[in-house]
């Protein structure tokens, strides 16, 4: 600040056209031509120092007073200096800090990390660097787990406390914008090489002798030295040992880390001046052309920005280039694994490239707050990088990583879980065991039923068949056959035709069988419960009348089905037993079977009552006993079936197969209990004893009644 105050003071007391010498903040004397135009300091270029806060102040100051003085820094890395609205004439031969942040972000992305901690020195370098890193990291989906500042005067216990705080989060990776105070600034190999040089052996650098004389305060060309070298003993020592002396003899010698950048800054300025002079003066000397009088700082700035010696961007910042090192624990030293310019370039050294992928565990360590969610899982966010994985419902799609959207009924997610697609209706395939078992059972039942019909037709005049009521027996056989055929109808894929047939035949097939049984048991009950005097007055006991009564009972079921078809025409519709199953079914749903079977249940109950009432008739006329067995078994079957059917609404296969089996078993019970005893007697026990002999044990009165009853039955 003192120097700037002095600078302003000289501006006030010095005439504008008589600038001769002004001292810049960096300590460099700059000359101004005495013929400079008013308000413009010509011919000034300042090489900047390495003190950050002074650089910011000086660069801003020179820009504000509109001196248009190009400035080239060899060590200033602050990103603030890239703002050309404030520092339009500032250039530098070192990359800005924001490129360090960009390089760090690229490395973190290459490692697959999304969650890191940050440490920064207190001050503009560290804090600005971390803020720049945060901005670029946020754009790449990287989160900061913790941010710690290293304050001036930190002690060991402060660092231990800082590390313990970092260990509390899940971040393994740590990025640091800190100074290298505790790192050696000079490489041992370069020290060993450089300190071994002397003017006798090293002549490539023309300035080395001058440097040597400055370090030893003597002259290489002359045997005389200055200062303490005037001592005769020192002169004898120099003449004897100087050609073999080493830099290590120079007290306090150390390598300067900024030397390469100072050289770059000087070369940049030299190349720019050379190009500018060549453009304006051509073959004339600098002093012979008007450039020496009208030296323009803005024009020189453009030449500085266009130099090819180093690459500067449009802001005057050097293009970033960083070496990427990895600390190898086994070798205990850093190994170069790549470079960064505007992107990461892997090392061309195969061994180093392999080393870059080696870690103690054999894999790259993870630095994430949360692991990626698996398939069919969404994130429950507690931050942009932290989440908990929650399973998504199987009937929902996942348009993004954090939401589940349920599909509408009739739709299910596709395999990628990104779109709802229509469900494919299921059906029982004929080749599946669900269809094969009932189909085989029903096929055998049909064959047996047809065999019974053939026997009844062949032995039509046998007394046992005649006494059982041949007409109603044939009606029962037709009903049993229809019951077996229902299996194939129920297993068939529904369409409008099959739905219409199902609505009629599900109830009608059983109704035919039980209507015939009810008519038969009713006739037997009326005959055997009547007195001899009332027998002549019994009506509707002839075969034709019985057949008519049976048809009337059947017509009730048929009429009900027809009315239902008119009220609700049959068609197919999709039914969803559960959320993940679609079944193409006939309309009517769960009501189809109950409505069709209500009337049949009434017939079954009536048949069972009549079978129970006629259980004590004479042994030779106990056909009702077989009917009783049939109805008792039928009741048990249907009582067991009803809870199975209504309890499996969510499984259409079990529901359909149980209905098929129940109807088939009901027909089988009627076939076995009612028809098989008669078939057995006809085929294997022909009647050998005359009717009179069979009646021998009966009383006369009973015999007369039975004769009349038998006559009526026949």
User: How wide is the angle at C-alpha 685 spanned by C-alphas 679 and 690, nearest 5°?
Assistant: 115
8 A C-beta contact, residue 52 and residue 129? no
Provide the pLDDT for residue 379. 84
Confidence class of residue 251 from pLDDT cuts 50, 70 and 90?
A: very low
Provide the pLDDT for residue 12. 47
Provide the pLDDT for residue 163. 82
In terms of Cα–Cα distance, which of 574, 588, 573 is closest to 411?
Answer: 574
More confident residue, 301 or 227: 301
Tokens of 651: 């499984």
Provide the pLDDT for residue 302. 87
Q: Which residues contact 324 (CB under 8 A, 6 or more apart)?
A: 103, 107, 336, 337, 338, 339, 340, 344, 356
Tokens of 469: 């009521």
8 A C-beta contact, residue 445 and residue 484? yes
What CA–CA distance (Å, rounded) separates 685 from 95? 117
Confidence class of residue 61 from pLDDT cuts 50, 70 and 90?
A: low
What CA–CA distance (Å, rounded) separates 45 from 66? 14
Tokens of 520: 């038969």
More confident residue, 338 or 197: 338
For 454-491, what is each residue's pLDDT tens digit? Answer: 998 988 887 777 777 788 899 999 999 999 999 999 99
For 573-584, what is each residue's pLDDT tens digit? Answer: 888 888 888 888
More confident residue, 249 or 315: 315
For 398-419, what is each residue's pLDDT tens digit? Answer: 988 888 899 998 899 998 888 9
Provide the pLDDT for residue 219. 66
In terms of Cα–Cα distance, which of 454, 593, 610, 623 is closest to 522?
Answer: 610
Q: Is it the case that residue 182 has pLDDT exceeding 50?
A: no
Confidence class of residue 329 from pLDDT cuts 50, 70 and 90?
A: low
Question: Average of pLDDT values for 498-524?
Answer: 87
8 A C-beta contact, residue 89 and residue 62? yes
In terms of Cα–Cα distance, which of 169, 168, 149 is closest to 159?
Answer: 149
SS3 string of 279-323? HHHCCCCHHHCHHHCCCCHHHHHHHHHCCCCCCECCCCCECCCEE
Structural domains for the chain: 2-94+259-305 (3.40.50.2300), 97-177 (3.40.50.2300), 188-249 (no CATH), 388-422 (no CATH), 433-713 (1.20.1070.10)
What CA–CA distance (Å, rounded) separates 655 from 488? 15
Of the listed ranges 142-146, 230-234, 318-322, 516-520, the one predicted with least confidence: 230-234
Provide the pLDDT for residue 33. 40
8 A C-beta contact, residue 118 and residue 174? yes
Q: Is it the case that residue 446 has pLDDT exceeding 90?
A: yes
Provide the pLDDT for residue 353. 46
Provide the pLDDT for residue 82. 82
What CA–CA distance (Å, rounded) separates 382 from 387? 5
Q: Is it the case that residue 164 has pLDDT exceeding 90?
A: no
Provide the pLDDT for residue 453. 93
8 A C-beta contact, residue 637 and residue 645? no
8 A C-beta contact, residue 538 and residue 531? no
In terms of Cα–Cα distance, which of 395, 578, 370 is closest to 404?
Answer: 395
Share of the chain above pLDDT 90, in %: 11
What CA–CA distance (Å, rounded) separates 237 from 231? 10
| Max Cα-Cα span within the chain | 177
Instruction: Give SS3 for 698.
Output: coil
18 burial type by CB count under 10 A (0-12 exposed, 13-18 middle, 19+ buried): exposed
In terms of Cα–Cα distance, which of 165, 97, 163 is closest to 133?
Answer: 97
Q: Is it the case that residue 706 has pLDDT exceeding 80?
A: no
Q: What is the 8-class DSSP label of residue 357?
A: T
Provide the pLDDT for residue 235. 42
Confidence class of residue 687 from pLDDT cuts 50, 70 and 90?
A: low
Provide the pLDDT for residue 67. 66
What CA–CA distance (Å, rounded) separates 102 from 713? 109
Provide the pLDDT for residue 204. 62
For 254-310, what is each residue's pLDDT tens digit? Answer: 666 678 888 888 888 888 888 888 888 877 776 777 776 677 788 888 888 888 878
* pTM score, whole prediction: 0.54
Q: Is it the case that residue 451 has pLDDT exceeding 90?
A: yes
Instruction: Give SS3 for 347.
Output: coil
Provide the pLDDT for residue 445. 94
8 A C-beta contact, residue 449 and residue 480? yes
Provide the pLDDT for residue 420. 92
E strand or H helix at 378: strand 377-381
Provide the pLDDT for residue 29. 36
For 81-93, what is each residue's pLDDT tens digit? Answer: 888 888 888 888 8
Instruction: Give SS3 for 48.
Output: strand
What CA–CA distance (Å, rounded) separates 243 from 221? 11
Q: Is it the case that residue 568 has pLDDT exceeding 70?
A: yes
Most confident residue range from 7-11, 259-263, 550-554:
550-554
More confident residue, 56 or 629: 629
More confident residue, 56 or 339: 339
8 A C-beta contact, residue 483 and residue 667? yes
Provide the pLDDT for residue 230. 34
179 burial type by CB count under 10 A (0-12 exposed, 13-18 middle, 19+ buried): exposed
Query: DSSP string spanning 67-128?
Result: ----EEESS---GGGG-TTT-TTEEESS--HHHHHHHHHHHHHHHT--EEEEEEESSHHHHH
8 A C-beta contact, residue 473 and residue 457? no
Q: Is it the case that residue 215 has pLDDT exceeding 80?
A: no
Instruction: Give SS3 for 539.
Output: coil
Q: Which residue has tokens 């393994």?
A: 172
Q: Which residue has tokens 């029962």?
A: 476
What CA–CA distance (Å, rounded) separates 463 from 454? 17
Question: Average of pLDDT values for 418-428?
Answer: 89
What CA–CA distance (Å, rounded) separates 350 from 335? 12
E strand or H helix at 328: strand 322-328
Of the listed ranges 11-15, 28-32, 159-163, the one predicted with least confidence: 28-32
More confident residue, 667 or 313: 667
pLDDT, averaged across the chain: 74
**How many Cβ atoms from other residues are within 10 Å of residue 8's Cβ?**
11
For 364-373, what is each residue's pLDDT tens digit? Answer: 778 888 888 8
C-alpha dist (Å) from residue 327 to 105, 193, 339, 361: 19, 25, 15, 15
Question: Average of pLDDT values for 336-354?
Answer: 67
Q: Is it the case that residue 563 has pLDDT exceeding 60?
A: yes
For 483-506, what is each residue's pLDDT tens digit? Answer: 999 999 999 988 889 888 888 888
Question: Average of pLDDT values for 130-138?
Answer: 88
Q: Is it the case that residue 26 has pLDDT exceeding 50?
A: no
For 664-685, what is each residue's pLDDT tens digit? Answer: 999 999 999 888 888 888 888 7
8 A C-beta contact, residue 174 and residue 116? yes
What CA–CA distance (Å, rounded) separates 380 from 404? 11
Share of the chain above pLDDT 70, in %: 68
What CA–CA distance (Å, rounded) separates 411 from 400? 19
Q: Which residues contact 236 (CB under 8 A, 6 or more apart)?
A: none
Provide the pLDDT for residue 373. 84
Provide the pLDDT for residue 555. 92
Tokens of 147: 């941010």
User: How wide is the angle at C-alpha 234 spanned by C-alphas 232 and 238, nearest 5°?
Assistant: 115
Q: How many CA atoms lie within 13 A of 167 on its CB side?
A: 6
């Amino acid at each position: 600040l003192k120097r700037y105050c002095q600078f302003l003071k000289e501006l006030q007391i010095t005439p504008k056209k008589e600038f001769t010498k002004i001292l810049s903040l960096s300590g460099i004397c700059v000359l101004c031509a005495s013929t400079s135009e008013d308000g413009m300091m010509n011919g000034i270029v300042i090489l900047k120092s390495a003190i950050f806060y002074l650089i910011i102040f000086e660069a801003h100051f020179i820009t504000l007073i509109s001196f248009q003085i190009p400035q080239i820094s060899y060590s200033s890395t602050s990103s603030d200096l890239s703002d050309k609205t404030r520092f339009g004439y500032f250039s530098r031969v070192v990359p800005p800090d924001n490129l360090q942040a960009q390089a760090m972000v690229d490395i973190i992305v290459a490692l697959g990390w999304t969650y890191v901690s940050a440490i920064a020195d207190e001050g503009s370098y560290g804090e600005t660097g971390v803020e720049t890193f945060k901005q670029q990291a946020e754009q790449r989906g990287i989160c900061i787990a913790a941010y710690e500042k290293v304050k001036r005067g930190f002690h060991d216990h402060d660092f231990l406390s800082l590390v313990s705080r970092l260990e509390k989060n899940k971040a393994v990776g740590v990025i640091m914008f800190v100074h290298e105070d505790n790192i050696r600034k000079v490489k041992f190999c370069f020290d060993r090489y450089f300190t071994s040089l002397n003017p006798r052996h090293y002549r490539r650098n023309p300035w080395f002798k001058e440097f040597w004389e400055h370090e030893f305060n003597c002259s290489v060309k002359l045997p005389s030295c200055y200062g303490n070298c005037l001592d005769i003993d020192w002169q004898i020592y120099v003449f004897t040992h100087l050609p073999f002396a080493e830099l290590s003899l120079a007290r306090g010698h150390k390598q300067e880390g900024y030397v390469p950048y100072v050289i770059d800054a000087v070369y940049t300025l030299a190349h720019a001046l050379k190009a500018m002079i060549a453009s304006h003066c051509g073959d004339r000397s600098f002093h012979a052309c008007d450039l020496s009088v009208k030296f323009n700082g803005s024009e020189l700035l453009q030449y500085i920005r266009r130099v090819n010696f180093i690459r500067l961007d449009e802001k005057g910042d050097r293009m970033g280039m960083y070496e990427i090192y990895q600390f190898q624990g086994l070798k205990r030293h850093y190994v170069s694994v790549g470079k960064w310019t505007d992107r990461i370039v892997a090392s061309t050294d195969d061994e180093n490239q392999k080393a870059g992928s080696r870690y103690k565990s054999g894999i790259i360590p993870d630095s994430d707050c949360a692991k990626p969610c698996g398939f069919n899982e969404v994130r429950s966010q507690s931050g942009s990088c932290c989440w908990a994985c929650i399973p998504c419902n199987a009937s929902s799609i996942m348009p993004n990583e954090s939401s589940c959207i349920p599909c509408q009924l009739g739709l299910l997610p596709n395999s990628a879980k990104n779109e709802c697609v229509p469900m494919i209706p299921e059906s029982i395939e004929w080749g599946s065991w669900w269809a094969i078992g009932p189909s085989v059972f029903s096929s055998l039942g049909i064959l047996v039923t047809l065999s019974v019909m053939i026997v009844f037709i062949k032995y039509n005049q046998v007394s046992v068949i005649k006494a059982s009521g041949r007409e109603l027996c044939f009606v029962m056989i037709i009903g049993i056959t229809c019951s077996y055929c229902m299996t194939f109808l129920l297993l068939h894929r529904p369409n409008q035709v099959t739905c219409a047939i199902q609505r009629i035949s599900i109830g009608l097939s059983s109704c035919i069988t039980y209507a015939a049984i009810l008519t038969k048991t009713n006739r037997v009950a009326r005959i055997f419960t009547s007195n001899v005097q009332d027998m002549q007055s019994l009506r509707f006991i002839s075969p034709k009348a019985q057949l008519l009564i049976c048809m009337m009972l059947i017509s009730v079921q048929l009429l009900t089905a027809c009315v239902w078809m008119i009220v609700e025409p049959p068609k197919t519709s999709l039914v969803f037993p559960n959320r993940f199953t679609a079944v193409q079914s006939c309309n009517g749903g769960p009501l189809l079977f109950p409505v069709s079977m209500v009337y049949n249940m009434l017939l079954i109950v009536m048949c069972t009552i009549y079978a129970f009432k006629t259980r004590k008739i004479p042994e030779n006329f106990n056909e009702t006993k077989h009917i009783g067995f049939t109805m008792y078994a039928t009741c048990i079957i249907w009582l067991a079936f009803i809870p199975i059917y209504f309890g499996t609404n969510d499984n259409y296969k079990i529901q359909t197969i149980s209905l098929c089996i129940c109807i088939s078993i009901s027909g089988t019970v009627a076939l076995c209990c009612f028809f098989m005893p008669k078939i057995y007697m006809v085929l294997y026990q022909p009647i050998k004893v005359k009717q009179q002999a069979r009646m021998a044990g009966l009383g006369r009165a009973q015999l007369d009644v039975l004769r009349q009853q038998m006559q009526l039955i026949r």
